[in-house]
Amino acid sequence: MKRVNIFLAAVICTVFVGCVSQQSHERALQEYEMSQEESSAEIERLQQMIEERQVEVAQLQETKTELEHTVEVQDQIKEQQLAAVKQELEALYSQIQGLENPSGGNSMVASIFGVEPVDFEDLTAALKKVRASLDDQVSDFSQLRKQNSQLEEELSALETRLKEVERLKKELEQVRAAREAQEAQLAKVKHEVQTVGEEIDRITRALEDKFGHSLVVTQHQDRLVLTLLGQVLFESGEADLTPLGLKIMKQVGQVLATLPDKYIQVEGHTDNNPIYGRLQQQYPTNWELSTARATTVLRYLIEQTRMDPKDFGATGYADTRPVTTNETEEGRAQNRRVEIVLYPDPTIHERETVATLAR
């Protein structure tokens, strides 16, 4: 533009003064045309630059608009986040207000926030205050955590002990139930024993006038033992019942037939005199004789009572279990005996001979 102005000024001067030659005029005109072309090119270049600047300005304006929108959105998000933080802090504060110190002292709110109210509008200050207070509580909470761990261990130990107590309690209940069952069974046995004893006492008293003290009844725990002297039931060296023995055994069989759920063990006993003479052919020792006598009584009772043979047993003990001395005739007479042992239950009887003395 500056060149154009200079050129125009030169042309004007040339026209007015009239001293420019035709050749100079043409040259000037050519220069003007060249300058005009250069000016047009410059103008076009400038125009293009202006358009480019306008495009850049438009882009910048658009970018500015987008940035302003982004900033506005971010401000809204920050405000929402700030409101959410404030709401969470207020909720936390409300929850802490509901917590009381387990020791019964001041509440946790007072220990964390102090007695002054919290300004939730100034979240930075509120958070600093909470953080500072919580830092002070860390050591206390750590100690409480240790105590809680110890309490959990103690609780676990107590639970283990409780399980053991429950187990022992169940075992005790089982033992108690078993004991009650045993007591009930014992009461039943005692009742039966009493009933049987009364019946046998009645029969015994009735037989005493006829047979004297040939039959003696004794009780040993849950067993009844009927002791019959051998000389009343058998002849010397014999295993067959005498007429008196048959009468006695008939009376005894009638009583035994009325007793339910009983196991009857017949036991034969002798004195210590050895078997000699012709009897040795049938009974080589007192073992065979005592067993034969027990078997004879057993067979007679089964035949008379029609009881199940599985409820009976017979054993011979020879002279191994005397009730008194064999040094006297009276003692040997008492050792020669047959004992009928009544057990209350076949499953619990011990087949244990009870030494009794006929009186």
Predicted confidence band of residue 269 (pLDDT cuts 50, 70, 90) = very high
The residues with which 343 forms a beta bridge, in sequence order, are: 263
Average pLDDT, the chain: 77
Q: Which among 53-62, 171-180, 220-229 has the top mean pLDDT? A: 171-180
- Alpha carbons 255 and 251: distance in angstroms, whole number: 7
49 located within any domain: yes
Residue pair 241/296 in contact (Cβ under 8 Å)? The answer is yes
- Of the candidates 55, 90, 125, which is a domain's last residue? 90
Residue pair 286/270 in contact (Cβ under 8 Å)? The answer is yes
pLDDT over 70 (residue 116): no
pLDDT (0 to 100) of residue 136:
64
State the average pLDDT over residues 127-139.
66
103 located within any domain: no
Predicted confidence band of residue 284 (pLDDT cuts 50, 70, 90) = very high
- Alpha carbons 266 and 261: distance in angstroms, whole number: 16
The secondary structure element, H or E, covering residue 76 is helix 22-97
123 located within any domain: no
What CATH number is associated with residue 299? 3.30.1330.60
Q: Tell me the per-residue pLDDT of 183-235, one tens digit each, with 9 for 90 and over.
A: 887 777 677 667 666 766 665 665 555 556 677 877 777 678 888 888 888 88
Closest CA to 342 of 273, 279, 281, 255: 255
pLDDT over 80 (residue 156): yes
- Measured from the Cβ of residue 268, the count of other Cβ atoms closer than 10 Å reads 29
pLDDT (0 to 100) of residue 358:
38
Q: Tell me the per-residue pLDDT of 296-338, one tens digit each, with 9 for 90 and over.
A: 999 999 988 888 888 899 999 999 999 999 999 999 999 999 9
- Of the candidates 72, 90, 108, which is a domain's last residue? 90
Cα dihedral sign, 13-15-17-20: positive
Say how many domains are in the chain: 2
pLDDT over 90 (residue 339): yes
Residue pair 297/233 in contact (Cβ under 8 Å)? The answer is yes
Range of the domain at 291: 213-343
276 located within any domain: yes
pLDDT over 70 (residue 72): yes
pLDDT over 50 (residue 77): yes
196 located within any domain: no
Instruction: Return the higher-pLDDT residue of 67 and 359.
Output: 67
pLDDT over 60 (residue 107): no
Distances (CA, A) of 309 to 39, 97, 223, 304: 151, 88, 19, 12
102 located within any domain: no
Q: Tell me the per-residue pLDDT of 237-251, one tens digit each, with 9 for 90 and over.
A: 888 999 888 888 888
Instruction: Return the higher-pLDDT residue of 201 and 175.
Output: 175
pLDDT (0 to 100) of residue 86:
73
175 located within any domain: no
Residues 6+ apart with CB under 8 A from 228: 214, 215, 245, 248, 337, 338, 339, 340, 358
pLDDT over 80 (residue 81): no
Cα dihedral sign, 119-120-125-129: positive
- Of the candidates 39, 70, 90, which is a domain's last residue? 90
159 located within any domain: no
pLDDT (0 to 100) of residue 133:
64
